[in-house]
A = this chain, B = another copy of it.
Amino acid sequence: MRKKITNVTIHSIVQKPYKGELIIEDGKIAEVGKTCSQTVDEVIDGKGGLCFPGFIDAHSHIGLNAEGYGFEYDDVNEMTNPVTPEVRTEDAFVPTDAALKESALGGVLVHCVLTGSANPVGGLAFIVRHTPSNLTGDKVVQRDVGLKMATGENPKRVYGAKNQMPVTRMGTAAVIRKYLQDGKNYIEKKAKAEKEKKPFFETDLKLEIAEKVLKKIIPVRIHCHRSEDMLTAIRIKEEFGIRMVIEHATEYLKVREEIKKSGVPVILGPFMSCRPKVELKDMTYKTYKGALEDGVLMACMSDHPVFPSQVLRLQAGMAVAYGADEEGMFRALTIMPAQILGIDQDFGSIEKGKQASLCIWDGHPFDARSRVIWNDQDSWTAL
C-alpha cells in the first residue's frame, strides 16, 4: 500500500519549505521531493496546506491523569517514597486519554511521558506516538528512555509535609547522590560476583536502573526551575559521569554559559501558564530565544496536563513573539526533541526512510486559527 500526498508545502525541517509531494509506504516516507515518481494506490490532496512532521512533546504526563477523570485517577507522582526509580510510566499510562487525540489535532504526534516531580528519584519514562489503537503497546516508540529526577520546591513541599528527608535543596541532592552511590557499589558487587563466578547474585530492581544510568545507557531527566538547582544537577552529573537532560530550566538565562559549557540539553517550558510557585517567578518566553542563540540542544515541553499538549504550537508561537527565531522554534518542536530523546533516526523531520509521522495544516501552526486537516494515523474527520 503506497500513498502519495500532493499539493502541499513541505516543511521538512532540514530544508527550506517548498511545494512538493511525498510517498508513504508501510508507514515510512518512501520518497519526498518537488515531484514523486513512484506509482501509488491512493492520492491524498493536501489542498495547498503545509505539511509538517508531527511535533514531539519532549516532556509530558499525558495518559497519567486522563482528561475528565479527576484527582482519583491521577498517576503522575508516586509521592510515597523519595526514591522510586522502579516505577514506570508505561505501567500507568491510559492509552484512551482523550488528550492524545486532541494533541494530534494540535499537530503533536509523539510524546515522552515522564513521572512527576515529587520525588528526587522519580521513575522511568517512555515514548509514545499517537495511533488509533486503545493499547499502550501499539503506541510505544521506545521504553525506559530516561530516569526522572527532581529538584527545587516540589520534593521539599511533598516530603516537608511528611517531615521526611528531603526537606531542603541540600537534602534533595543528598538523596540523589546516595542513590547513585548505591548504584556504583552495586555495579562493583556484581562485577565481583561475576569474577568470583558465584552461583548467585541478588539483583535489586531499583539499582539495576542506577546501573543503566551510571553506564550511560539512559540519561537522567532532571526537573529544575531555578538556576542553583540546574547547577547542582550539573555538579552531580560531573561527579558521577552520567548523561543528563535538564527539564523546565525556567531560569536558563541566568546560567546560560554554564549550561552551554556542560553540554546538557534542555527541555524548556511550559511557559504559557501562570506562576503559582515562587520558583517560577522569573519565567519568560524569552528563554527560548536565548537557548536558540546559544545553540544548545533544546526542545519545547507542554508538561501536559499542566499545559495542554494540543497548544504546544502556540507556546512556540509566543516564543517567536518574544524574539525567538521561527525556524528555530520549529526545530524545537521536531528534530531537536527527537535528538534529545534518541529517536531522530525515525522522527523529527520529513526525510526518506523516516516514519511518516506527518500533519497537514490549513494555515501556519503558530496561528491559533489554523487546523490540522490530515495526519498519518487517523481516519480523518475534521475538528
Q: Spell out A's residues near B (CB within 8 Å).
A: 65, 67-71, 74, 98-99, 272-278, 280-283, 286, 304-308, 311, 313-318, 320-323, 326, 364, 366-371, 383
Enumerate chain B residues within 8 angstroms of A98, measured Cβ to Cβ: 275
Enumerate chain B residues within 8 angstroms of A274, measured Cβ to Cβ: 65, 67, 99, 304-308
B276, A320: Cβ atoms under 8 Å? no
User: A314-B314, A366-B367 are contacts. A322–B278 as well, Cβ < 8 Å?
Assistant: no
Partner of A280, one of B68, B275, B311, B317: B68
Most B Cβ at <10 Å: residue of A282, A311, A316, A366: A311
Q: Give chain A's interface secondary structure class.
A: loop
User: A68-B281, A276-B71, A369-B326 are contacts. A311–B318 as well, Cβ < 8 Å?
Assistant: yes
> How close is A38's CB to chain B, nearest CB, in angstroms?
34
Enumerate chain B residues within 8 angstroms of A275, measured Cβ to Cβ: 67-69, 98-99, 305
Can you name the residue of chain B whose Cβ is closest to the Cβ of A281?
B68
Most B Cβ at <10 Å: residue of A99, A286, A367, A371: A367
Enumerate chain B residues within 8 angstroms of A67, measured Cβ to Cβ: 274-275, 280-281
Separation of A44 and B350 alpha carbons in the complex (Å): 46
User: A278-B70, A314-B311, A314-B314 are contacts. A320–B273 as well, Cβ < 8 Å?
Assistant: no
Separation of A71 and B306 alpha carbons in the complex (Å): 16
